[in-house]
Structure 1
Amino acid sequence: MHSSFVCLFLTVLVANLSWTVLAGDYPVVGIVLLQSAPRFQAFGSVVLIQKDEGAPINVEGIILNLKPNSRFGLHVHEQGDLTNACQSTGAHFNPYGKQHGSEKSVERHWGDFGNIMSDASGTARLMVTIEDVSLIGADGYIGRALVLHEREDDLGLTDNEMSRKTGNSGERLACGVIGIRRPTDRLPLPQPTQKATLGQQRPLSFVPTFQQQSQNMRTV
């Protein structure tokens, strides 16, 4: 069942990616349905939008069923491969061999998104801006994986080798492929009552804050 899901997803992904690259249209919108790895319960939806070539990427989302009042590392990993759940997504996306850091560090992996914080109900809301990276292209995010880790990312500030590589953020508790979609005014959001594992997700809709602020967003 998982292999059929992955094949169907990749078919849709390639078709939509071809539309965007050939048309050269902006804004470009990425979409991720985060689903829990085995033993964990977290799931959510994340959108990424780049309004123009060379512009920052605005990232916004919501993740549910987390340990309350805790921090979790979030990264883009190299491969959008979920054949072995989150374990087959490779290392942090780091095309230029940099040291691990925060999303604001000069020295950082291109996949470094820093930490998210859950509230007392175990819900985390994400809003971050990523500079110097593109959604599309050979070194872009589309087709890679967004991975949520079980512990706080130390942002490369601890004096040990794993800090400089991964931020000591622990196991992978949820992940999803960064797909691409045409610009739209409504995007998926999970229900708090849902339980999602890899291959199962029933998204609802929400309007990201940064998209609400863009009145000239073109719908196609």
Structure 2
Amino acid sequence: MNRAMIMIFLLSLAMFLTACGGNEAEQDTQNQNTDDSTQSESANEEAQETNATAEEEVLVSLKNPEGQVVGTATLTEEESGVGIKLEGEDLPPGSHGFHIHEVGKCDPPDFESAGAHYNPTDAKHGFDDPEGPHAGDMKNIEVAEDGTVTADVLNEMVTLKEGTDNTLYTEEGTALMIHSDADDYKTQPSGNAGERIACGVIGE
């Protein structure tokens, strides 16, 4: 009788130890699956964040000195710079200077609060100056006789990526500006482009 009881005890003990070993293996497998799932989710989130940055669009409303919206610009981060699609109305017909300025403030009526052209590389103004242009210099826009404008501009000297060189997201911010006259691409410091007639803060 004692021998039978001992055998039963030993068998029970063996079964118990086997079950514990199986549970530990199962737990290890579950933990591994959880780790793999967490890593996969993290990778997916990083990929989504990267895609969101690459596809980011920034809308800028440009107002005249009377506070009326006369233009809307869509800024997009592209491989070779920042693409700017401008659509406007109620503007004076003709060629107009179109620049990025160094301060994100558009206080009417003269918009002098936006400072000078955005120039993080301390260059000279103008595409025709051998020591230029400013990072904020861009080609003139052409307003039709009915006061409307549609323009696509690529600025290869700036970026929307924060914390990098020539970013448009500086501590003071930046602004888009339309001038009353054409930029001659050479006169210092702003191309003799005349008054500031429309201004919009980037990223406001």
TM-score (norm. length: structure 1) = 0.60
Deviations 1:155-188 (A, max 9, x none): 11xxxxxx121000011001010117xxxxxxxx
Structure 1 residues 83 and 151: CA distance shift in structure 2, 3 A? closer
For residues 101 and 42 of structure 1, do their structure 2 counterparts lie closer, same or farther at Cα, with a shift above 3 Å needed? farther
Match of 2:78 in 1: 51
8 A contact 1:28–1:51 mirrored in 2: no
Match of 1:26 in 2: 54
The alignment status of 1:81 with 2:105, answered yes or no, reads yes
Given candidates 141, 149, 153, the residue that maps to 1:128 is: 153
Distance 1:102 1:31, change over 3 A: farther
User: Cα distance, 1:51 vs. partner?
Assistant: 3.5
The verdict on how the C-alpha distance between 1:66 and 1:42 changes in structure 2, with shifts beyond 3 A counting, is: farther
Superposed CA offset, 1:39-58 (max 9, x none):
x9771100110135xx3211
Q: Point out the structure with the larger helix share.
A: 2
Whole-Å separation in 2 of the counterparts to 1:144 and 1:22: 24
**Relative contact order (C-alpha < 8 Å, sep 6+): which is higher?**
1
SS in 1 for 2:140: strand
Q: Could you say which structure has the higher strand fraction?
A: 1
Partner of 1:99: 124
- 1:111 and 2:136 matched: yes
2:185 is the alignment partner of 1:155: yes
Who is 1:65 aligned against?
A: 90
Taking structure 1 as reference, are residues 119 and 56 closer, same or farther at Cα in structure 2, changes over 3 Å only? same
Contact preservation (8 Å) 1:76, 1:146: yes
When normalised by structure 2's length, the TM-score is 0.65
> What is the distance in 2 between the residues matched to 1:63 and 1:57?
19
Q: 1:178 to 1:35 in 2, by over 3 A?
A: same
For the residues of structure 1 that align with 2:141 and 2:149, how far apart are their CA atoms?
6
Segments of 4+ moved more than 2 angstroms: 21-25, 82-85, 136-139
How many equivalent pairs are there? 150
Distance in 2, Cα, partners of 1:124 & 1:42: 13
- Aligned equivalents of 1:127, 1:133: Cα separation in 2: 15
Aligned residue for 1:36? 64
Aligned-residue CA RMSD (Å) = 2.8
Retained in 2: the 8 A contact 1:149–1:172?
yes
Structure 2's unaligned 5+ residue stretches are 1-48
Report the secondary structure of 1:165's partner residue.
coil
Percent of counterpart pairs with the same letter? 32
- Structure 1 residue runs of 5 or longer lacking an equivalent are 1-20, 157-162, 181-220
* SS of residue matched to 1:43: strand
Q: Determine the structure 2 residue equivalent to 1:146.
A: 176
Distance across 2 between alignment mates of 1:83 and 1:46: 19
